[in-house]
Amino acid sequence: MSMGRIWSLMFLSVPILGTGMYLIGMLASSGPLALWFPENINPLAVEIDRLHDIILALIGVVFIVTSVALFWFMWKYDATSNPEKAKFVHGNHKLEVWWTVIPAVILIMLAIYQFKVYADVRINRPMLAGADGTLGTADDQPEPPSFEVIGRQFEWRIRYAGADKQLDTADDIIGEVNELHAPKDVRLVGSLKAADVLHSFFIPALRLKNDMIPGTRQIVWFQASKPGTYDIVCTELCGWGHYKMKGRFVVESQEEFATYLERLRKAQFDRSYDNGSPSDQPVSPTEQPAVATVE
Ligand SMILES: [Cu+2]
């Protein structure tokens, strides 16, 4: 077999291995070959999966057709079996118009379809009824976040709103590092911040992914429909310890969640009491001992 034909077979292996890996990843439900998305437990993000599948199907078809065409032309017009010199022709106007118009129409359709998905997960923030008690009127207020995650090198710091349902107040409950809890079937609004550099907060099972940008606050919302423990990962290379930014996202019943918050609140009170500095009497900066920094 000529060298040209060996090369064309090498090119053919790309679509075969590529689609093969996709199929294995889609079919394997557990183990190292389960490369697909985890189950979507966020009913507010079902459309993200649908949009993803449509785009994947479109690019899948284009990928297979172009790869196979590349193989076929390399195979058929291999130099050894075609001693005749190639003839160059000027382009085909009609063909060029079609292969411009069809992708343009597909892209415009995708652009229109994604408007709604984007608005649902990024723009149409959950609202609460205002003074008139009716939702959908002019005095509606954006629902305040009930938890906050701060990304810092290299961990997630978590805080929950206390009984007043507001963050940044005295009754805030300090969560455990790298562990976010949420009650099942409750729509939650959260606030994301960064303490140092860019991080990206990602809970794959919720299809929730948002950059954390120093100096700004990002608002996200979701609803978790299935109890369990899921991954939290950082998807922005944020420094040498980026790989350490793994966390757990725990979905539990509303009663379990309330018990968890109460346990955190008690632990927080006990800690401040043990230190001899109750949280309502902050130590003034001048009295604080010098802190040694270890890098
Ligand atoms: Cu990070």
pLDDT above 70 coverage of the chain, percent: 92
First and final CA of the chain: distance in angstroms?
61
pLDDT 10s digits, 126-184: 888 888 888 888 888 899 999 999 999 999 999 999 888 889 888 899 999 999 999 99
Tell me how crowded residue 4 is: count the other CB atoms within 10 A of its CB: 15
Tokens 């890098």 found at: 295
Residue 40 clears pLDDT 60, i.e. is over it: yes
Report CA(246)–ligand 1 centroid distance (Å): 9
Lowest mean pLDDT among 27-36, 60-69, 245-254: 27-36
In Å, how far are 7, 97, 201, 211 from 214, measured between CA atoms?
Answer: 49, 46, 13, 10
- Quote the pLDDT of residue 273: 59
- For residue 242, give the H/E element and its range: none
Residue 231 CA to ligand 1 centre (angstroms): 14
- How much distance in Å is there from the Cα of 51 to the middle of ligand 1? 27
Question: pLDDT tens for residues 200-234?
Answer: 999 999 999 999 999 999 999 999 999 999 999 99
Give residue 272's pLDDT.
63
Local confidence band at 78 (pLDDT 50, 70, 90 cut-offs): confident
What's residue 37's pLDDT? 83
Q: What is the model's pLDDT at position 190? A: 95
Confidence bin at 32 (pLDDT 50/70/90)? confident
124-133 contact pairs (CB < 8 A, 24+): 125/189, 125/219, 125/221, 126/187, 126/189, 126/221
Distance 209 CA to ligand 1 centre (A): 12
Q: In what side-by-side order are the strands of the sheet with 218-223?
A: 173-174, 155-160, 147-152, 187-194, 218-223
Ligand 1 centroid vs 199 CA: distance in angstroms? Answer: 4
Return the number of other C-beta atoms located less than 10 Å from residue 295's C-beta.
2
Q: Which of 16-20, 54-58, 279-283 has the lowest mean pLDDT?
A: 279-283
Q: Residue range 96-110: average pLDDT?
A: 94
Q: 205, 220 in Cβ contact below 8 A?
A: no
**CA 155 – ligand 1 centroid, Å:** 7
Res 81: pLDDT: 82
Burial class (CB in 10 A: 0-12, 13-18, 19+), 260: buried
Q: What is the DSSP string of 153-177?
A: TTEEEEEE--TTS-SSSTT-EE--T
User: Reduced to 3 states, what is the DSSP secondary structure of residue 86?
Assistant: coil
Kindly report, residue by residue over 247-290, the tens digit of the pLDDT.
Answer: 999 999 999 999 999 999 888 877 665 555 444 444 444 444 45
Whole-number average pLDDT of the chain: 87
Q: Which helix (H) or strand (E) holds 209?
A: strand 208-212
Hey, what domains does the chain have and what are their CATH numbers?
3-81+95-123 (no CATH), 142-276 (2.60.40.420)
Q: What is the pLDDT of residue 29?
A: 72
How much of the chain exceeds pLDDT 90, in percent? 57
> How much is the pLDDT for 130?
83
Going from the Cα of 211 to the center of ligand 1, the distance in angstroms, rounded, reads 10
In sequence order, which residues have a C-beta less than 8 Å from that of residue 170 and are 6 or more positions away? 162, 279, 280
Instruction: Give me the mean pLDDT over the 4-13 stretch.
Output: 90
What is the CA(174)–ligand 1 centre distance, in A? 20
d(CA 97, CA 114): 26
Q: Is 294 a residue whose pLDDT tops 70?
A: no
- Residue 288: what pLDDT? 47
CA 31 to ligand 1 centroid distance, Å: 26
CA atoms within 13 A on the CB side of 98: 5
Who contacts 66 (Cβ-Cβ below 8 Å, separation ≥6)? none
Q: What is the pLDDT of residue 275?
A: 55
